[in-house]
Structure 1
C-alpha cells in the first residue's frame, strides 16, 4: 500500500475524530468519526465556523491554543463542544501545525470524546465523597481489607474505638484480631467467598491497649467486573453493653426462676391468648404434669395433657381468666382443686392482667397460695366461737333448771316414804330420770367450765336395757320396730353412766325422728377385740345428704326444723372424752347408720383440764 493510501485509511478509519483547518480557522476536511461525534457532515461544517460548535466559555481557550500551534507548538487540552442535537460533548484535543515548505499553513487536530469518561470520573468523585462522608460519620467501626487480609482503610470511629490511627494499619494484617481467633477469621473469609454475601459473626476484637471488646462483625465482599472478590469490608459494632445487659438479664432471670421454683405457691405466666408460657413446679406437681409439654397450650388444651380428673379445675381457670380480663385489673379469688386422694385444696389466687400500650392483651400473671390449712383453722375458730356461746347458754340454762329440779326431787323423796300403794318402781324411775336431768345440767355446766367427772365400771347390756325402757314408748307411738342384735357378751366399760345414757338416748331419738311414718331401728353390739367394743344403730329413715355429713356435730347445725344441733354436739364431746369415736354414714331415702366405738380400758386423766376422760 502506498503512503497516500495508508494515510487515507488512517484518516478515514481512525476511531478518534480528526479534522484540519487553515490558519484562518476554516475547515479543510474531517473524518467520519468526527462527523459522528458532532453530528454534522463535512459540508455542513464548512458552512459553519468551528467556533459555532464550541461552548461560548471555551472559545477564548481555543483561540489561545490555536495561536500557540501557529507558533509551531503542539497543544493538548480539553474543550467542550455542542452536538448538532444540542447536547454537550467533552473532548480531549491534540493540535499539530501543518507545515508546507517550512511554512505553517494550517492545523491538524485529533479529537477524543471523553464525555462518558468524564461523567464516570465525576460520579466516582461524588461516590468517593459520599463514601468518605459515610465512613467518617458512621457510628460503627469500618475496615477495608484486601484479599491478603491487609488493611486498606479504616474510618474515624474505628480509630476512636480501637485506638489505632489509619496510618499505623495501612498495609498491615489486622493486629486487632486476637491470635486465638485467627482460625475463626479464616473460616469467616472462606464462608464469604463461598456464599458471596454478607456474613455476620459475634466475636471479640482487641483494642490497642490490649482490652478485649465484644463486637458484632458484618463481613461484606467487594467484586470486580469479572465477579472476583477483590476486597472485604468489615463493619464492627461494639456490643459490650448489650452483652453485659444480656448477662445481667440472664442472671436476673436465673434468680427469678430459682425464687419462683422455690416458692410453695403456684405461679403461672400466660400470654394474651391464655397460652401457658411458664409455670413453677408447684402447680405442675398439683396437676401431675411435671414431664408434659405444657408451654404454648391453653387451659382447655392442657385438659388433653393432664389427667381427666383435673379437667373441671382447668376449665374453671379459663372462665376466671376471662373475668379478670373483663375487670381489667388485679383480681382476688378462691379456686378449689380436688386431688386424686380425695383431699380438697383451696387456693387464694391473685390474677394480674398486663396490657400493651394500645390496650390489647399482653400477658396474665397467676399466683395462688394454698390456704387449705388456714381455711381449716378458720373453721375451727368459728366452731370454737360457737362453743363459747354454747357454754354461756348452757351455764344459764343449767342454773335455771337446777332450782326446780331440787324441789321436785325433794318432794318425790317425801312421797316415796309415804307410799302405801306399792308404787315404788315408778318413784325409782322418776327419781332416776331426775338424776339424769341433773346430770345433763351438769354437762351443760361442763360445756361452760370443765368439771371433774366420776367414771365407774358398768355393764353395757344393762345400760342399753335401761335406755330402751325409756325410749321404747316413743318408738311404739311412732310405729317403729326396735330390734336388739347382741352377738356376744360385752365386757363392762368404765364410763360416766348418765353421760353414756344421754348419748344412746340422743342417737335413738334422732333415729325415731327420722322416720315420721314408721320404720325399723336395729341396735347391734359387738366385741371388736380385747381393747374395744362396737355399738351400731341403724334406721330406715329419710337419710342425710352427703354434703351435710361433714358438718354434723357442729353447734347450731341441725337437720331438724327446730333443732339447735347441740344434742349431737354433746354426743361427740362425751364419746371423745371417753376416748371413743363416732362415725355416721347415710344415704338419702335409705337410712342412717351411727357407729360408736368405745375402749374397754380405763380412760386416762388429763392433767391440763383437771378432768377425766
Structure 2
C-alpha cells in the first residue's frame, strides 16, 4: 500500500470516529436532498434511521419552503466554505428542535455533509414552557440576534408567524428607533437586563403600538450568553386611556376648583367615605373649626370619631352610618377638643355604584346654639309653669305651716319632748323652701336696680359665710380686682345668688378644702364673679341640666336654689356659666353687664 492510500485510510478512520462519537447531529445528503446516512445523535433527534427509511431534508426542516432549501443547496455548491443556517428540525412524533446547521459540499463524492447543533439545549425546556403559558408576546433570539422562536401571543399581536421570522432579525423595531437594537445588545452582552422599557413597536401591517419591553440574557453553565428572551406588553389601550384620562382630569380639575371653593368655605362639615377603600377620602376644613381636632388624624383613622361621640348617642350614630337609607338624618352630641359638648346634625346621602353602596357623603351642621336656645325655651317654659305652681303652693301651704309651727313650739315648751326640736328644724326647712317658691313665683317683685360696688357686695357676702365655711373646714379666700366699674343691680338678689353658690361649693367639699371667690373684668362688657372650689365636681353631661327644677347634685337638694339664681341673673341680663371636672372641682362664673338698661 502506498503512502497516499495509507493517508486516506487514516482520514477515513478519523471521520468514522467523529461520525460515531460527535454530540452533534451529523448526516450526509445527495443532490436531491435525500438523507443517506445519519449518526446516532441524528437518528435519536429525528426518530428515523436513513438506512431503514427514506428521509428528505424537506421533511425535517419545517421552517423552510422547498424553493428556499433548493436555493440553499445551490449556494452551498457555489461556495468554497460551509453555509450556516438555523432551522426548526422536526422529530418523527412532530416535536420541534431548533438547530444551527453547518452545510459542506464534497465535489469528489457529490455529497453534502450536515452538522447540526441544538440551540440553547440547557434552557429549551423552560423556554418552551414559558412560551406556551404566558399571555404576553415573547420572542427568543440566539447569540447572533436571530429569531429562533416566538409564541402564539407574539404572532397574534404583531402579525408575523414563527415560519416567517425564524433565522431573521426582529422586525418589530420601527426604523426611527433602530438605535435601540445596538443599545440593548451592549447591555445584554454585559449580562445585564433591560426591564420595563417603554417604547414604540411596529406590527406587520405597519401600524405602531405602545409597548413595555423586558429583555433578559440566557447563559450556559460557563456564563456565556447563548440566547436572549424578550417579553413585550401592548399598553396602547392604557396609553390612550391615560390620554383620555388627562383630558377628563383637566375638566375635573376645573370642577374641583369650584367644589373646593364651596367646600373649603362652608360652615358645615362635608365628608366623603369610600366603602371599597374603607377610608375617608375627603373632609372639609370646617371639621377642625367646629370640633378642634386635627383632620389629618381623622384621615389616618376614621374610627377616632367613635371616641368623640357621646356614649349615649354612639349606637344611634353607628346605625346612622351603616344604614343604606337615603337622606337619613341624626342629631347627636360630640366632644370638642377642649372638652365641651357640641350638638351636631348630620345628613347622609349614599352614593351607589350600580346596585352596591360605593360611597357615602355626609353634611354635618353645628346646631349647638339652636339646642341652647331650645333648652333655654324649655327651661323658661318650666320656670313659668313652676312659678305659677309656686304661687299656689306658697299660698296654700304657708298659712297651715305657720299654725303647725306655732303649736309645735308650744308642745315643745310644755312637754320638753326631744323630738320637738327635730320637728321644728324640719318645719323651718319647709318654710325656707316656701320662701324660695315665693321668690320663684315673683322674682322681680319690688326689684329696684341701683348702682353698687360689686367688690363691696362680695366682701359682705364672704364675711357672712365665713363661720359656716370654718364649720365645714373650708378655707374661704378672695382675689379682688380693684377699681372695677360700678354695676346696676338689685343688691339682695345678687347677694342671694352669691350665698347659693358659696353654700353649694362648701357642700361639695365634705372633707374641707379651699374655696376662692374672684372678681375681675371680662372684656369691656361684663364684670365677672368666680366661685372656684376643690369639691367632687359635676359630670359633663349633667352641667346642661343645672338650673332645672328639682334637679340637684345634692342628696336632699331640690334644685330650686340654682333655679332661682338663674332666674335672677337672667333678669339682670347676665349669665351663669359652669366649668367642672369630676374629683377636681368646679368653677362657677357669674357675668353681670356693666351697663344694664
TM-score (norm 2): 0.45
Larger Rg: 1
Give the structure-1-normalised TM-score. Answer: 0.44
